[in-house]
Amino acid sequence: MDKFLNDMGREKPTRFTDQQLRIATDNFSNLLGSGSYGSVYKGVFSNGTVVAVKVLNGSSDKKIEEQFKAEVGTIGRIHHFNLVRLYGFCFERNMIALVYEYMGNGSLDRYLVNDTNNLGYEKLHEIAVGTARGIAYLHEECQQRIVHYDIKPENILLDGNFNPKVADFGLAKLCNRENTHLTLTKGRGTPGYAAPELWIPNFPVTHKCDVYSFGVLLFKIIGRRRNTVEELAESEEWFPMLVWKKFDTGKLGELIIKCGIEQKSRDIAERMAKVALWCVQYRPEFRPVIGLVVKMLEGSVEIPEPMNPFQHMMGEIFIAHPVQESQTYTTTTLSGSIMVTDSNMLRSTPIMSKYEIEIAPATL
């Protein structure tokens, strides 16, 4: 334990025994929640440090120990204000666990479901910007890019001051290795938040899948009160589609009002809606990089007029599939004819090229 206290201030994640974790968590009596990788318990070490212990599903195996330690070592050295800190791990015959800093205000999902835990839109905007900064660090500043694969409100944790910290980064890699004995109860990503390419077999998946999930998160923030607002209560429409239709017909402002967003936050909400429409573009290469998302949300760069992210769902049904190993697409109808043309899908603006929002070539 003394070693842990020393290590806490250092870079390196500490190794714990299952006995130490059993004592700290009072025999795993305080369950914070469960997910696809295992269950999370609250714990306190003798020096008063409060932790969240995630006990991973699966059994340990000497063969995976070195690789597990190497990967945990990498995750444990990643420090950023908007990322949850990993203090250490346990790798024993009967237990594999990760020990994280404890986040006093829990996860963002509980602030998006109803009005009982009301966070104002300005705070929610700050949370969105902080979250994007955390993801940007993973994508753009780590020695080896880390794709999260599971950005969603449950993985955005809030500290005592409601500063957002992205949780569970690096876990997809840790738990998906072929030789691992850890089991996943579901595929990568979470329905609703996962980018379309995650559900298409053999489709190339890049960091842009996190941008898509972040866009869905923005829609959740904007639309969180809509079920309590009368005029929208009847609307069964998928909210992102509704946002697009309103934007396309110049009625985004009206929708924002109907979502119950207070006057002073309407500009911010409108900005968030436009960024969200960019983030959920069907084609990954149309989505902005997350660093640009940060700037657009902050208001430090102009937001280009979004293109229709749902073209593939309106009218004709499109199927996208990869061509060879490159990240290009052919887009066809179910009957096989090519539908993508310069005029209906591909339009570029000077701002898009300035900010490196890429447009795929017309002939793919």
Ligand X SMILES: Nc1ncnc2c1ncn2[C@@H]1O[C@H](COP(=O)(O)OP(=O)(O)OP(=O)(O)O)[C@@H](O)[C@H]1O
The answer to the question of whether 54 is labelled as a binding residue is: yes
CA-CA distance, 250 to 309, in Å (whole number)? 16
- At its nearest, how many Å lie between Mg ion and the CB of residue 167? 5
Residues present in the chain in total? 364
As beta bridge partners, residue 331 has 320
> 3-state class of 63 per DSSP?
helix
Q: Which amino acid is at 41?
A: Y
Instruction: Compose the 150-169 pattern: x for residues touching Mg ion by CB under 5 A, - for all others.
Output: -----x------------x-
- At its nearest, how many Å lie between Mg ion and the CB of residue 171? 8
- At its nearest, how many Å lie between ligand X and the CB of residue 100? 4
Q: Which amino acid is at 86?
A: L
Q: How many CB atoms lie within 10 A of CB 65?
A: 13
Q: Name which of ligand X, Mg ion, none residue 213 binds, using a CB cut-off of 5 to 8 Å depending on partner kind.
A: none
Between 171 and 307, name the residue whose CB sits nearer to ligand X: 171
Q: Name which of ligand X, Mg ion, none residue 103 binds, using a CB cut-off of 5 to 8 Å depending on partner kind.
A: ligand X
Verify whether residue 248 is a known catalytic residue: no
Between 24 and 167, name the residue whose CB sits nearer to ligand X: 167
Q: Name which of ligand X, Mg ion, none residue 96 binds, using a CB cut-off of 5 to 8 Å depending on partner kind.
A: none
Between 154 and 270, name the residue whose CB sits nearer to ligand X: 154
Between 157 and 280, name the residue whose CB sits nearer to ligand X: 157
Place of tokens 């995650």: 198
In terms of Cβ atoms closer than 10 Å to its own Cβ (0-12, 13-18, 19+), residue 354 is: exposed
Q: Name which of Mg ion, ligand X, none residue 151 binds, using a CB cut-off of 5 to 8 Å depending on partner kind.
A: none
175 scored as a contact of Mg ion (CB under 5 A):
no
Helices 208-222 and 266-279, axial angle in degrees (round to 10): 150
C-alpha angle with apex 142: 106 to 103, nearest 5 degrees?
Answer: 10
Between 56 and 261, name the residue whose CB sits nearer to ligand X: 56
- At its nearest, how many Å lie between ligand X and the CB of residue 40? 4
- At its nearest, how many Å lie between ligand X and the CB of residue 169? 10
Strands 86-92 and 38-44, by their bridges, are: unpaired
Q: Which amino acid is at 232?
A: L
Q: Name which of Mg ion, ligand X, none residue 270 binds, using a CB cut-off of 5 to 8 Å depending on partner kind.
A: none
CA-CA distance, 262 to 358, in Å (whole number)? 35
**Active-site entry in 18, 109, 115, 150:** 150
Of the candidates 269, 276, 277, the one whose C-alpha atom is nearest the C-alpha of residue 226 is 269
Inter-CA distances, 50 with 11, 18, 47, 54, 83, Å: 18, 17, 9, 13, 17
Interacting residue ranges for ligand X, rule: CB under 6 A: 32-37, 40, 52, 54, 84, 100, 102-103, 106-107, 150, 154-155, 157, 167-168, 190
Q: Binding site residues for ATP, as ranges? A: 54
Active site residues per annotation? 150
Residues in contact with Mg ion by CB under 5 A are 35, 155, 168
